Chains A and B, each alone.
Chain A
Amino acid sequence: MADTALPMNIGAEDHARLRRRKRRRTELARHAALALITFVMVAPFYYVFLASLKNATEIFSYPPKLVPFPPYFGNYEKLLWDTGFLRWMFNSLFVAGSVTTLKIFLDSMAGYALAKIEMTGKRVIFMAMLILLMVPIGALIVPLWSLVSGLGLIDSYWALILPPLANPLGAILMRQFILGLPKDLESAARLDGLSELGIYWRIVLPLIKPGLVVLAVIIFTDQFMSFIWPLIATTSDDLQVLTVGVAALRAHGGANYGIWSASAVMSLIPVGVFFFVLQRQFLARSLAGALKQ
């Protein structure tokens, strides 16, 4: 881009200096804009985190303390020892973890079958799965409850784990990943004596690890934050998941912004850790489709 704003009657060194200054100003403006956007996005989280470390009086003090000192841990103590938070957290982690583990295998096997195995009606099955994706969850709640209740599974871990396994999104995602694998790899594996299951286990599964990471993050986050179905499918306190428990806390515990803030912070930790550990894989594979190999 030509520096048309720069005066013409100056030496090369001055020209370079002026160009550098202009570049620095542009960089500064860009960073300032990014800082503002970051502030707008991070500020609410920071405010909640601050509130979790303040007592009831300090939360509403004006001007607000941006660094609470000394920090008040009473909200966390009450949350952990006076409520069922730990049990809710365990339930959410157990259900989300179980569903994620089971779906990784079920969806990758289903995706492999859809991508690589010739069978009558494959196209019909795939189209049916795509159509099912468009059905909103709200329309499925009543028939699903009826089915699970008929099986005698309401108010059990099975009620929380089994229904999400039927979501076709994972299988469709895995199919796309597996379709991207070269057909010659499969042919080479057949010549080497591998059965269909052997090809899936020894060749396909290791190669779609990045895809499995994407699937795991999506499923885990979705299951961890699930609310409507756990609310309906469970009635006893022992089986309450985090989202339902925290909502109940707000409904029945009276206005306690400190404890609510602490519960919000604690709820974010597992998902944050999970994503932080897998983020490099997740972002790389999310962008992989946009890059020419």
Chain B
Amino acid sequence: MSNAEQRLAPAIELIEVGKSYGKVHVLAGINLTIGAGEFIALLGPSGCGKSTLLKLIAGLEELSDGEIYVGGRLANYLKPSDRDVAMVFQNYALYPHMTVRENLGFPLKMSGIPRDTVRQKVESAASLLQLGAQLDRYPDELSGGQRQRVALGRAIVREPLAFLMDEPLSNLDALLRVEMRTELIRLHKRVGRTTIYVTHDQVEAMTMASRIVLMHKGVIQQVGTPAEVYATPANTFVATFVGSPPMNLFAGRIESQGAARLFRGPFDLALDRLAPPSLADGAATIGIRPEQVRLVGAGEVGAMPARVELIERVGPDSFVLTQVAAGANVIARIDAARPIREGDRVFVLLPPAQLRLFDAEGNRVPTEGS
């Protein structure tokens, strides 16, 4: 590939990437293109393969199938140090026997960069991350946040094509995590490098990433912006994983009555345009986000009587758990100022325009306007 072609190539491209340990397939059929400067979050539950995928990109694990391109070059057979990527580890992985200055300068020293240049780059990174006063300390003399910044600094000095971050904030306390999240976003805007960020925390993914790659059992479930993934989840897994509380899901069946399509489950709903003609009758699931559920007056068309079972007050909002039928609970998000108590009889409306329909396999059925 020529230099010009390399400049135009995506930062990282994965083609049919797979990883197996013996007979256990950890990753399968991973296809992903990451553009230059993007902030991508690999999101999923523990054990879904997101860290393994990151290590495959870094070259720390061997590919079983597929191809990985970094900066337009085939990276399958490249050593980790030749792939022009830098990694920030969950446990920081700082060398305990080296000072902060030595930790920051170590990758540059190993690359054979002249001492003066190493010193300049180290001081520049230290200044960017406010580590100037800690340069001569050892890692065990630093706080968790400082260690994290040193780990970031060690990646930044290399000026790589891409940063690979493996749950870098998970070892920090909640307050520090929020602070560091903001710092990371600012840093990304300032430095502008491609970043792949592994996390199991959807809040991190939703707030930091330009695109989210949701993974489950070694397979990509959906790739999209935070808004897309939230509003139009590709399947029931995404619907329940993203969003807190998760999307309300109701299992039932689609039945045709003449021209009308009905959802019959814990309650009955007219589906209208929600179920396309191509969708056959059979098992299905409908879903709706808690903030789209409305608690309305008795006369509203389509409203279902319900009983308030539980109220969770979370600051400006309240999450109200209502029982609309035996075994069918609907969670609604309402303004905390609204007067409502446990045991109250209410009416729940599920606006058809906000409903999402999933087929028998749990995949979302695309419909007009959804």
Using known A-B contacts A185-B95, A187-B60, A203-B95, determine if residue A194 contacts B89 with beta carbons closer than 8 Å. Answer: no
Report A's interface with B, CB cutoff 8 A: 182, 184-185, 187-188, 190-194, 198, 203, 206-207
Residue B110 interfacial (CB < 8 Å)? yes
How many of B's residues come within 8 Å of A, CB to CB?
Answer: 23
Chain A nearest CB from B151 CB (Å) reads 9
Chain A nearest CB from B122 CB (Å) reads 14
Given contacts A187-B55, A188-B154, A193-B81, 15 further A-B contacts (CB under 8 A): A182-B93, A184-B89, A187-B80, A187-B87, A188-B87, A190-B80, A191-B85, A191-B86, A191-B107, A192-B110, A193-B79, A193-B107, A193-B110, A194-B110, A203-B95
Residue B90 interfacial (CB < 8 Å)? yes
| Contact bitstring B45-84, A, C-beta under 8 A = 1, else 0 | 0000000000100111000000000000000000111000
Residue B124 interfacial (CB < 8 Å)? no
Q: Once bound together, how far apart are the Cα atoms of A182 and B94, in whole Å?
A: 10
Q: Is B90's CB under 8 angstroms from A184's CB?
A: yes
Report B's interface with A, CB cutoff 8 A: 55, 58-60, 79-81, 85-87, 89-93, 95-97, 106-107, 110-111, 154
Q: Once bound together, how far apart are the Cα atoms of A245 and B30, in whole Å?
A: 72
Chain A nearest CB from B158 CB (Å) reads 9
Chain A nearest CB from B139 CB (Å) reads 11
Chain A residue with minimal CB distance to B60? Answer: A187
- Among A184, A191, A193, A206, max chain B CB count under 10 A is at A191
Chain B nearest CB from A186 CB (Å) reads 9
Count CB-based A-B contacts (< 8 Å): 50
**B106 partner residues in chain A, CB cutoff 8 A:** 192
Q: Is B111's CB under 8 angstroms from A187's CB?
A: no
Chain B residue with minimal CB distance to A193? Answer: B81
Q: Is A190's CB under 8 angstroms from B60's CB?
A: yes
- Among A182, A185, A187, A188, max chain B CB count under 10 A is at A188
Chain A residue with minimal CB distance to B86? Answer: A191
Q: Once bound together, how far apart are the Cα atoms of A198 and B110, in whole Å?
A: 10
Pick from B59, B80, B89, B97: contact of A206, CB under 8 Å: B97
Q: Is A192's CB under 8 angstroms from B91's CB?
A: no
Q: Once bound together, how far apart are the Cα atoms of A206 and B92, in whole Å?
A: 18
**B96 partner residues in chain A, CB cutoff 8 A:** 207
Q: Once bound together, how far apart are the Cα atoms of A207 and B17, in whole Å?
A: 36
Q: Once bound together, how far apart are the Cα atoms of A207 and B55, in whole Å?
A: 24
**B90 partner residues in chain A, CB cutoff 8 A:** 184
Q: Once bound together, how far apart are the Cα atoms of A185 and B111, in whole Å?
A: 18
Q: Once bound together, how far apart are the Cα atoms of A145 and B105, in whole Å?
A: 53
Q: Once bound together, how far apart are the Cα atoms of A114 and B95, in whole Å?
A: 22
Q: Is B89's CB under 8 angstroms from A188's CB?
A: yes
Q: Once bound together, how far apart are the Cα atoms of A188 and B90, in whole Å?
A: 12
Q: Once bound together, how far apart are the Cα atoms of A55 and B55, in whole Å?
A: 75
**B107 partner residues in chain A, CB cutoff 8 A:** 191-193
List 24 interface pairs A-B (beta carbons < 8 Å), by A numbering.
A184-B89, A184-B92, A184-B93, A185-B93, A187-B58, A187-B87, A187-B89, A188-B87, A188-B93, A188-B95, A188-B154, A190-B79, A190-B80, A191-B60, A191-B80, A191-B86, A191-B107, A192-B81, A192-B107, A192-B110, A193-B81, A193-B110, A194-B110, A206-B97
Ranked nearest first, the 8 interchain pairs of A and B with the lowest CB-CB distance are A193-B81, A184-B93, A188-B93, A193-B110, A192-B107, A206-B97, A184-B89, A191-B80
**A193 partner residues in chain B, CB cutoff 8 A:** 79, 81, 107, 110-111
Q: Is B81's CB under 8 angstroms from A191's CB?
A: yes
Pick from B79, B97, B111, B154: contact of A207, CB under 8 Å: B97
**A207 partner residues in chain B, CB cutoff 8 A:** 96-97
Chain B nearest CB from A32 CB (Å) reads 41
**B93 partner residues in chain A, CB cutoff 8 A:** 182, 184-185, 187-188
Using known A-B contacts A182-B91, A184-B90, A184-B91, determine if residue A191 contacts B58 with beta carbons closer than 8 Å. Answer: yes
**A206 partner residues in chain B, CB cutoff 8 A:** 97
Q: Once bound together, how far apart are the Cα atoms of A194 and B86, in whole Å?
A: 14
**B86 partner residues in chain A, CB cutoff 8 A:** 191
Chain A residue with minimal CB distance to B91? Answer: A184
